[in-house]
């Protein structure tokens, strides 16, 4: 019963969508376990380019069950819109399912996300504004509405009445916002219940059944380890657990079922939103890298901050997740740079450290210690074998492997499925 996880090793946007779409050709099921439509996964294949926010990235393969597990928070309008768009482009969505235990992003969560961010002033997190944080707050506070609750009308009405009264008090009295109308929210819930009914089920059972039949299951991470609520640069994090622990709780899956944990790392670093990023580039260098790589958020369109590869943060991600193999993406973006740098330590408060600190204020004071390597003038773009890579690119890859203490099993050299070097088969 083999399950394989694909997890972001940095601050999200590592190119997991392409990796998952590529690997999904070898599996029977792809499952999202955390986050919501704050994620944006880009998939490019012979059917076109797809920007997916909720539906698992393996959906384009006809044999694949695409499942949203209990750990995800679901905005039904976004989900239903995405399914409709996929169907209209000829993608079969008949194997799509959503957990009845997944929490719903309600309209007041989106309102509160905006109001809370505004109230944070200069300390704003830079959330995606999709209501993800407030939905997870309600889940933990035990006042959330789950997908299954939408279909239990008798119980939903009094519960929503109570919850909405509390939310409206918060919205109007604390933030000076406008109250939401109960009847409007109920009407929306009624519509959602009807539209989601065909997909809602006990997904943990489906996943267990598939594993029992010896089918292969791919666990699709969203965001990245450095955005993890526990392990990331708190409080500049998302509200879920993108790292491996989140996969077990977000699916109802035993860790024993997971035989491979793959970390996805971009050949450089990017971050969207606020919070420290020690190897951040500034000025013209940052702008030219951003433009070349088109580093703009898939979800919000915001320009992403960019920087050199941070091996201190990367090593930490490897430890937290126990990566059994890594994937290197967007190597081609570094083609043509006269030299490339890797952050191998931090200078801080008169000393040096080589660990990713828990204290985010300390992290913000960290200055990168760089190791510089010669760049390569032959392109790596579209390479499909290691032998096609220039020597200096191979040396860069080897150095990253040594620093992370984990080999790269796949190297991505472009957005399409074919632009992939398989160093070692990851899914057996």
Tell me the catalytic residues.
13, 41
Decide if residue 272 touches ligand IMP (CB under 6 A). Answer: yes
Q: Are 386 and 331 in contact (CB under 8 A)?
A: no
Q: What is the end-to-end Cα distance of the chain in Å, rounded?
A: 11
Phi-psi region of 356 (alpha: psi -120 to 50; beta: other; left: phi over 0): beta
* Helix orientation angle between 153-169 and 107-120, rounded to the nearest 10 degrees: 20
d(CA 119, CA 130): 16
- Asked if 276 is part of the footprint of ligand IMP (rule: CB under 6 A), the reply reads no
- In the bound state with ligand IMP, the residue whose beta carbon lies nearer, of 197 and 302, is 302
Q: Which helix (H) or strand (E) holds 360?
A: helix 360-365
The 182-201 site mask, x for binding ligand IMP (CB under 6 A), equals: --------------------
Cβ distance to ligand IMP smaller for residue 32 or 216: 32
Of the candidate spans 61-69, 207-215, 232-240, 403-411, the one that interacts with ligand IMP by CB under 6 A turns out to be 232-240
304-323 burial, b if ≥16 CB within 10 A, otherwise e? Answer: bbbbbbbbbbbbbbbbbbeb
Residue in 9, 58, 69, 133 binding ligand IMP, rule: CB under 6 A: 133
What are residue 68's DSSP bridge partners? 32, 98
| Nearest distance in Å: CB 107, ligand IMP | 16
The alpha carbon dihedral of 78, 83, 84, 89 has a sign of positive
CA 264 – CA 41 distance, rounded (Å) = 13
Contact between 295 and ligand IMP per CB under 6 A: no
220: Cβ contacts below 8 Å, ≥ 6 apart? 6, 16, 20, 30, 31, 32, 33, 41, 56, 57, 58
User: For ligand IMP, which residue of 103, 130, 146, 315 counts as binding (CB under 6 A)?
Assistant: 130
Report d(CA 119, CA 127) in Å as an integer.
13
**Residue 233 engages ligand IMP in binding (rule: CB under 6 A):** no
Only segment of 129-137, 139-147, 212-220, 365-373 that touches ligand IMP (CB under 6 A):
129-137
Q: Is 412 in the site for ligand IMP (CB under 6 A)?
A: no
- Closer to ligand IMP by CB, 216 or 266: give it: 266
Nearest distance in Å: CB 151, ligand IMP? 27
13 sits near ligand IMP (criterion: CB under 6 A): yes
One of 1, 79, 125, 248 touching ligand IMP (CB under 6 A): 125
* Binding region for ligand IMP (CB under 6 A): 12-13, 38-40, 125-128, 130, 132-133, 222-223, 227, 236, 238-239, 272-273
């Amino acid at each position: 019963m083999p399950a394989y996880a694909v997890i972001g090793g940095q601050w999200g946007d590592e190119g997991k969508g392409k990796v998952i779409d590529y690997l999904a050709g070898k599996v029977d099921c792809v499952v999202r376990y955390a986050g919501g439509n704050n994620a944006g996964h880009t998939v490019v294949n012979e059917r076109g380019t797809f920007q997916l926010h909720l539906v698992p990235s393996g959906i384009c393969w006809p044999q694949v069950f695409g499942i949203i597990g209990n750990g995800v928070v679901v905005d039904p309008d976004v989900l239903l819109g995405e399914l409709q768009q996929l169907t209209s482009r000829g993608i079969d969505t008949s194997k799509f399912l959503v957990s009845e235990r997944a929490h719903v992003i309600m309209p007041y969560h989106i309102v509160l996300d905006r109001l809370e961010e505004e109230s944070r002033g200069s300390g704003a997190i830079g959330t995606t504004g999709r209501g993800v944080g407030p939905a997870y707050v309600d889940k933990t506070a035990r006042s959330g509405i789950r997908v299954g609750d939408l279909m239990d009308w008798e119980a939903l009405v009094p519960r929503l009445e109570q919850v909405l009264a509390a939310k409206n008090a918060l919205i109007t009295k604390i933030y000076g916002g406008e109250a939401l109308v109960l009847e409007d929210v109920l009407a929306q819930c009624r519509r959602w219940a009807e539209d989601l009914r065909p997909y809602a089920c006990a997904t943990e059972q489906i996943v267990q059944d598939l594993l029992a039949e010896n089918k292969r299951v791919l666990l699709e991470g969203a965001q990245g380890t450095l955005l993890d609520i526990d392990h990331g640069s708190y409080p500049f994090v998302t509200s879920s657990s993108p790292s491996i622990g989140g996969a077990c709780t977000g699916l109802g899956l035993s860790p024993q079922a997971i035989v491979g944990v793959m970390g996805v790392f971009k050949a450089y670093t990017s971050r969207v939103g606020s919070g420290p990023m020690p190897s951040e580039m500034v000025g013209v260098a940052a702008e030219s890298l951003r433009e070349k790589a088109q580093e703009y958020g898939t979800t919000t369109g915001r320009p992403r901050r960019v920087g050199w590869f941070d091996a201190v943060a990367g090593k930490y991600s490897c430890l937290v997740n126990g990566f059994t193999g890594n994937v290197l993406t967007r190597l081609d973006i570094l083609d043509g740079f006269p030299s490339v740098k890797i952050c191998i330590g931090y200078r801080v408060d008169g000393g040096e450290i080589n660990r990713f600190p828990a204290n985010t204020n300390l992290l913000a004071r960290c200055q990168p210690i760089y190791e510089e390597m010669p760049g390569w003038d032959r392109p790596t773009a579209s390479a499909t074998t290691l032998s096609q890579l220039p020597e200096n690119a191979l040396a860069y890859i080897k150095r990253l492997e040594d620093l992370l203490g984990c080999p790269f099993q796949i190297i991505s050299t472009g957005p399409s499925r074919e632009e992939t070097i398989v160093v070692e088969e990851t899914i057996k």
